[in-house]
Structure 1
Amino acid sequence: MSEESAISLLLKSANIPEPSNEELNTAKQLADILGQLPLAIDMAGAYIQSASSSIRDYLDLYQENRAELLDNHSATLFSMNNLAHTYGNQGWWSEAEQLQVKVLERRKARLGEDHPDTLTSMNNLAQTYEKQGQWSEAEQLQIKVLERSKTRLGEDHPDTLRSMNNLAQTYEKQGRWSEAEQLQVKVLERSRARLGEDHPHTLTSMNNLAHAYMNQGQWSEAEQLQVKVLEKWKARLGEDHPDTLISMNNLTRIYRNQGQWSEAKQLQVKVLERRKARLGEDHPDTLISMNNLAGTYMMQGQWSEAEQLQVKVLERRKARLGEDHPDTLTSMNNLAGTHMYQGQWSEAEQLQVKVLEKSKARLGEDHPNTLRSMNNVAHTYGHQGRWSEAEQLQVKVLERRKASLGEDHPDTLTSMNNLAGIYRNQGQWSEAEQLQVKVLERRKARLGEDHPDTLTSMNNLAHTYVNQGQWSEAEQLQVKVLERRKARLGEDHPDTLSSMNNLAHTYVNQGQWSEAEQLQVKVLERSKARLGEDHPNTLRSMNNVAHTYGNQGRWSEAEQLQVKVLEKSKARLGEDHPLTLTSMNNLAQTYGKQGQWSEAEQLQVKVLERRKARLGEDHPDTLISMNNLAQTYEKQGRWSEAEQLQVKELEACKV
């Protein structure tokens, strides 16, 4: 900072708008002694103003005891805390932590352990620990704050209830749902009794409890609370108030998780329009709304609409916050996810690698955000058939999560499951099964048999049994998952339909065509009614039914469905989308079964060329296409052409 700017800042902070010549000279001396450092100058000015001191008095006092004055004055600590908050908002957690530790130690020494300002500092430091994934350190501080608030203020005081809620949220982030729920129920009951049903603190408590229900998959209980909160905010504050809009957004999350896309989208569009009108297009809350709506478009298979919104959010966050801000990195990651859903692996990878590098540089290798970024890159490598690179990253993520969070943390279990998926895709069934059994047992013990994560683990293990031909074990698990999802979520929920489809697939593998067909037709009808004829999930369901028709020799019915799937995939997703190429391949197979070799060949050549261009010559999907086309050449007696493709395929497999 220049000398002139430093003097100007000092006079402004000290509230001396018209300084005398003597004050200007003294201000210059003080600015020089403080090295023109903005923080030191701002703190000095704050002290001069708060103590009604002169610049000369401050300079004399500073020179007598400079270290103690700079370090311990309340105005100094206040400024340090504000700076820590600013660091935190930019994702500079380490710098924020250093300042907050310093503020806490000095407040303890100056004010005592039980002073409100000391407890505030403990809470601030706990939040910074949370942001860095240091759950144990955060929890210890929050328990200390809660116990002291209870002793000092009583169980029902608003500050005590806030402390309970903070601790509950830390339990949630560690996957300790039951402990979180118990605390939040207690907070809600006490807020109601003390403040009434309509008080903002009570409504916030309802919202927090609804969030705990969501995390446990208790959608109905969560929805009831969120609807109540929304109605009360509307009545109290009006439709356009920020708290009302937040409640609308919270309710949309519940609708989305229950597969109620239409209801979610209607609310999200409403929230977005109101935030635009109230706050402007570039406000952080408006950008959050754009991102939320994009997420719903993705879930409905409206990739183009999702991508347009996400590009807009990313550009605005870059301009407003810079390339390295956590919110900008989140936007990059969201856009990468949309590229992945469209099969645009190269575009997804470029964004995800950029996010990973920036997270490493900013937060360190072990930060939760960095580990999530590694996982995302590994996932994209897997989709490109780069299993070795994917495995290396997933092993690294798993080891670091074990060390940082423990074996039973939800993120650690997710990493085990991800690594198991890579083992499965490489045919390492035993390694995959061992990990999946471990994940399932730990989720049962931690979350219960009916929790969504437990059911996902059952389904994953069943899939590995299928790959090993253990049909009976797979079927038993899949029936259990289906029954529990029906009871918990209803017959029409996307997760229930996914379970029906998985069980049908197992029936297909056992030659139980009738049982498979009944389930697949049911899934198709419900997907049509819920999502429409053109939704990717509906098209996959049509393809599954067609496949079962084909297995029963009902080629004409299979062909009709597959032609429909292909046309709709082209129109909705484009000629190069993975689902479109899979549809071409399926139709080609059906042509082949009917001896229509020319029609089959035309489609298979097209699929092979597009997969080469998109995925490369060595990708597993490209090699499958080579093999399919080679078989079609063989059926036509074109041995030389078949041999050329098979040799090429063999060489690629050796590599």
Structure 2
Amino acid sequence: MGEYSKALSSYERSLEILKIALPLNHFDLATSYNNIGMVYSHMGEYSKALSSLERSLETSKIALPPNHPDLATSYNNIGMVYYNMGEYSKALSSLERSLEIQKIALPPNHPDLAQSYNNIASVYDNMGEYSNALSSYERSLEIRKIALPPNHPDLATSYNNIGGVYDNMGEHSKALSSYERSLEIRKIALPPNHPDLATSYNNIGMVYYHMGEYSKALSSLERSLEILKLVLPPNHPDCAQSHNNIGMVYSHMGEYSKALSSYERSFEIRKIALPPNHPDCAQSYNNMAIVYSHMGEYSKALSSYERSLEILKIALPPNHPSLAASYNNIASVYDDMGEYSKALSSYERSLETSKIALPPNHPDLATSYNNIGGVYDNMGEYSKALSSLERSLEIRKIALPPNHPDLATSYNNIGMVYYHMGEYSKALSSLERSLEIRKIVLPPNHPDLATSYYNIAMVYDNMGEYSKALSSYERSLGIIKIVLPPNHPSLATSYNNIAMVYSHMGEYSKALSSYERSLEIRKIALPPNHPDLATSYNNIGMVYYHMGEYSKALSFYERSLEILRKSVSSTDPHLAVVKRNIENLRNRF
């Protein structure tokens, strides 16, 4: 039920009685320490959990033979706490010790062996060692197929976990197949509103989310939440996670008010159900910050990210991967604000943490190098940008399948650096490689395909190949219209860039029409002082300038400058561009 304080109180009262009634090293005391440790683990208080679980293990070692299955359970539980702490080598060591004991004490196809392989696999999965994770999960599944009836819930768990690895590998169709097999078994084996069915719908929803099929994602996630509301108390942590995941989908759909509403509901539950410094509370602050960042409310975003980081510093070891993710997210806000030195500093702190916490070719390291490369690109330090992005690509080639979406991201970003360097043939080559991968691994209307067409169009535009540019921009716009709400900011960006091509072609009336459509959307979708609104006003001003309507041009430039002064730092390059446009215009009067 998630009522951890009540559980803890009962277990501790039980322990007090047992200490009086039993010898010092009686096995029942070990059981009590174990139970207390597991509650602390669920509460996210991992140091307290470890202390109790290690006390349980010490007692068990005295009370039991050296290869007793209950010792294996102790090592397993300690291993899972280390797993939650992000200390993966320690987790593996404990879990493998558990497996060794079980191999001696139990028959070769005992279900507990399957659980051990499952837990070891989960560590490998978080380490980014997906082939090892799959191998262990499949070994677990093999044992369960032998030991259990064909529709046993544990078989469903195996298929579910295999689906999770395929999802992490970017093999979404395989992930969906495994998750759906898991759901089929659960529908047969369990009551219609069992929480495990909710888990299945949630995981299927998250695959659709990763595939960019947001309506299907929402449908599955809302089905999951309906079940949880029926079977769990209203403030159970699993309900919070469900609201959180629905918020993530709305965030990607650009429906920021709905996203915030879902995230805030999730956070309300977590404040009631969990200790104040539980990692899930940090997740809530983090996700609300993402929405604020998309809305251009950078001060709110930074504040929420920093609150998330404060909690994680209390709750987790100093080099936990989640801390690296926090530094990364703070850096992304500074990057959006044009404060590149601060962004670089936070990204590098993230990278340092990841290097300590993770294996040398973990995908998260590739993400760090990718993001550092992005800052250097924004700073115009293109050789440094290329170096970081190519390091990211090297890691991804080692760690991921050959057509993983993250490889497409790497080729895309390298292509954009070449674009900024004016090396258009190299840019096209990388961007087209990215598009090829995305066509293979993503659904035909995935937003990332729209991004690829959009970026290729920008290159053609700068090469003066305007018909090709228009064709690619329109292909991008066609996808975005299908997958996103009618007033999503990405639609505004598409209309903006189509307008730019018309402007370069000297077709100013068409340019003006598209720029105005872009501005209309941004007024609906974004806060009144969002920098993208400034971009729209500036671009409309430029068209009026080219049309010789200088008073209108000046009016739009000044509106752009007014917004930028409120929304970006004084060193932001966009501010300098608008000031220069106003100065050039005034020099004509």
Shorter-chain TM band = over 0.9
1:239 touches 1:245 (CA, 8 Å); kept in 2?
no
What are the superposed Cα offsets for residues 551-572 of structure 1, whole Å, 9 maximum, x if unpaired? Answer: 2222221211111111122123
CA contact (8 A) 1:585 1:604 kept: yes
**How far, CA to CA, are the matches of 2:367 and 2:528 in structure 1?**
34
Counterparts of residues 498-577 of structure 1 (less than 5 Å): 498-577=451-530
Q: Does 1:483 align with 2:455?
A: no
Once residues 287 and 265 of structure 2 are traced to their aligned partners in structure 1, the CA distance between those partners, rounded to angstroms, is 12
* Equivalent position of 2:179 in the other structure: 226
What is residue 6 of structure 2 aligned with on the other side? none
Tell me if structure 2 keeps the 8 A contact 1:323–1:329. Answer: no
Matches within 5 A, 1:4-23: none
Shift in CA distance, 234/584, structure 1 to aligned 2, threshold 3 Å: farther
Instruction: Give the 3 Å change call, closer, same or farther, for CA 490–44 of structure 1 in structure 2.
Output: closer
Q: Which residue of 497, 511, 532 corresponds with 1:579? A: 532
1:142 corresponding residue in structure 2: 95
Higher relative contact order (CA 8 A, sep 6+): 2
Contact 2:473 2:494 in 1 (8 A): yes
Cα–Cα, structure 1 residues 455 and 114, in superposed 2: closer, same or farther, change >3 Å?
A: farther
Question: Please, what is the CA RMSD of the aligned residues?
Answer: 2.3
CA contact (8 A) 1:155 1:161 kept: no
Q: Which amino acid aligns with 1:603?
A: F
Q: 1-side partners of 2:189 and 2:216: how far apart?
A: 23
Indicate yes or no: 2:357 matched with 1:385.
Answer: no
Equivalence for 1:114? 67
Paired residue for 2:369? 416
* Distance in 2, Cα, partners of 1:501 & 1:568: 18
Residue in structure 1 matched with residue 445 of structure 2 by the alignment: 492
State the SS of the aligned residue for 2:449.
helix
| 5+ residue gaps, structure 1 | 1-11, 14-37, 52-68, 638-655
Residue of structure 2 equivalent to 1:164: 117
Percent of residue pairs identical: 33
C-alpha distance after superposition, 1:414-435 (max 9, x if no partner): 2222222222222222222112
Correspondence for 1:192: 145
Match of 1:260 among 213, 236, 244: 213
Equivalent-residue separation in structure 2 for 1:90 and 1:532 (angstroms): 38
Distance in 2 (alpha carbons) for counterparts of 1:482 and 1:456: 9
Pairwise mapping of residues 363-402 of structure 1 onto structure 2 (< 5 A)?
363-402=316-355
Give 1:616 deviation, angstroms: 4.4
Map of 1:430 onto structure 2: 383
Aligned-partner Cα distance in 1 for 2:96–2:315: 30
Mapped to 1, the partners of 2:261 and 2:16 lie a distance apart of: 49
Q: Deviations over 1:388-409 (max 9, x none)?
A: 2222222222123213324322
Could you report, residue by residue, the CA deviation over 1:321-358 in whole angstroms, capped at 9, with x for unpaired residues?
34322221211111111101101000111111122223
| Residues in 1 aligned to 2:154 and 2:206: alpha-carbon distance in whole angstroms | 21
* Equivalent in the alignment of 1:46: 18
Structure 1 position 457 matched with structure 2 position 406: no
Provide the C-alpha distance between the structure 1 equivalents of 2:574 and 2:163, rounded to a whole number of angstroms.
Answer: 43
| Residue identity in the other structure for 1:291 | N
CA distance in structure 2 between the aligned counterparts of 1:168 and 1:479, rounded to whole angstroms: 36
Matching residue within 225, 234, 237 for 1:272: 225
Once superposed, which parts of structure 1, at least 4 consecutive aligned residues long, lie more than 6 Å away? none
Q: What is the rounded CA distance, in whole Å, between the counterparts of 1:91 and 1:274 in structure 2?
A: 25
Which secondary structure state, in structure 1, belongs to the residue aligned with residue 178 of structure 2?
Answer: helix
2:196 equivalent to 1:243: yes
Quickly say closer, same or farther: Cα 1:201–1:398, change in 2 above 3 A. same
The one-letter code sitting in structure 2 at the alignment partner of 1:128 is V
TM-score by length of 1: 0.84
Q: Which amino acid aligns with 2:350?
A: V
Structure 1 residue 275: deviation in Å?
Answer: 2.8
User: Displacement of 1:129 after TM fit?
Assistant: 1.4
The answer (yes or no) to whether the contact 1:587–1:600 under 8 Å persists in 2 is yes
Q: Deviations over 1:279-306 (max 9, x none)?
A: 3542222222211111111111100111
User: Could you give the per-residue CA deviations for residues 570-629 of structure 1, whole angstroms, max 9, x where no partner exists?
Assistant: 123243233333222222222222222222222221121122123344433333332332
Distance in 2, matches of 1:213 and 1:339, equals 31
Instruction: State the alpha-carbon separation in 2 of the partners of residues 278 and 98 from structure 1.
Output: 33
Once the two structures are superposed, residues 234-280 of structure 1 have per-residue CA deviations (whole angstroms, 9 ceiling, x without a partner) of 34435422111111111101111111111111222233234334435
Asked whether the equivalents of residues 407 and 434 of structure 2 are also in contact (C-alpha less than 8 Å), the reply is no
Matched, 1:318 2:274: no
Question: Residue 448 of structure 1: SS of its match in structure 2?
Answer: coil
Flag the 1:446–1:616 CA change in 2: closer, same or farther, 3 A.
closer
Alpha-carbon separation, structure 2, partners of 1:403 and 1:272: 37
Kindly indicate whether the alpha-carbon contact (under 8 Å) linking 2:237 and 2:274 is maintained by their aligned counterparts in 1: no
Q: Deviations over 1:460-485 (max 9, x none)?
A: 22222222222222221111111121
Tell me if structure 2 keeps the 8 A contact 1:384–1:619.
Answer: yes
Q: 1:307 aligns with which of 248, 260, 263?
A: 260
Match of 1:608 in 2: 561
Q: Distance in 2 between matches of 1:588 and 1:238?
A: 63
Deviation per residue, 1:171-229 (Å, 9 max, x gap):
11111111211222333344234424321011111111111111111111111222233
Q: Does 1:470 align with 2:442?
A: no
- Whether contact under 8 Å (1:261, 1:300) holds in the other structure is yes
Q: Which aligned pairs between 1:589-600 and structure 2 lie closer than 5 A? A: 589-600=542-553
1:103-143 per-residue CA deviation (whole Å, 9 max, x = no partner) reads 33442344244211111111111112112221112112222
User: Which whole-Å deviations, capped at 9, do the CAs of 1:504-560 have from their partners, x for residues lacking one?
Assistant: 222222222222221111111122123243222222222222222222222221211
Give 2:45's match in structure 1, choosing from 92, 103, 109: 92
Give ranges in structure 2 of 5+ residues lacking alignment: 1-8
For the Cα contact (< 8 Å) 1:113–1:119, is it kept in 2? no
CA shift digits 1:470-501 (9 cap, x unpaired): 22222211111111211221431222221222
Q: Indicate if the aligned counterparts of 2:554 and 2:582 stay in contact, CA closer than 8 A.
A: yes
| C-alpha contact 2:412 2:431 (8 A) present in aligned 1 | yes
CA distance in 2: counterparts of 1:532 and 1:388, whole angstroms: 35
Q: Which amino acid aligns with 2:499?
A: A
**Whose Rg is larger?**
1
Residue number among 293, 311, 329 corresponding to 1:358 in the alignment: 311
Matching residue of 2:5: none
Partner residue of 1:29?
none
Cα distance in 2 between the residues matched to 1:307 and 1:418: 25
The letter of the residue matching 2:33 is: M
Give the direction of change, closer, same or farther, for the CA distance of 1:322–1:122 in structure 2 (3 Å limit). Answer: closer
Distance 1:358 1:183 in 2: 33
Aligned equivalents of 1:144 and 1:251: distance in 2?
A: 34
d(CA) in 2 for partners of 1:393, 1:525: 37
Q: Secondary structure at the match of 1:498?
A: helix
Give the whole-Å Cα distance in 1 for the aligned partners of 2:356 and 2:222.
Answer: 42
Deviation sequence 1:10-69 (CA, Å, 0-9, x none): xx98xxxxxxxxxxxxxxxxxxxxxxxx95x753412455x5xxxxxxxxxxxxxxxxx5
Q: Is the 8 A contact 1:575 1:581 kept in 2?
A: no
Distance (whole Å) between structure 2 residues aligned to residue 608 and residue 419 of structure 1: 29
TM (norm. structure 2) is: 0.93
Residues 342, 573 of structure 1: 8 Å contact kept: yes
Secondary structure of the 1:575 match is: coil
1:49-88 matched pairs, under 5 angstroms: 51=22, 69-70=23-24, 72-88=25-41
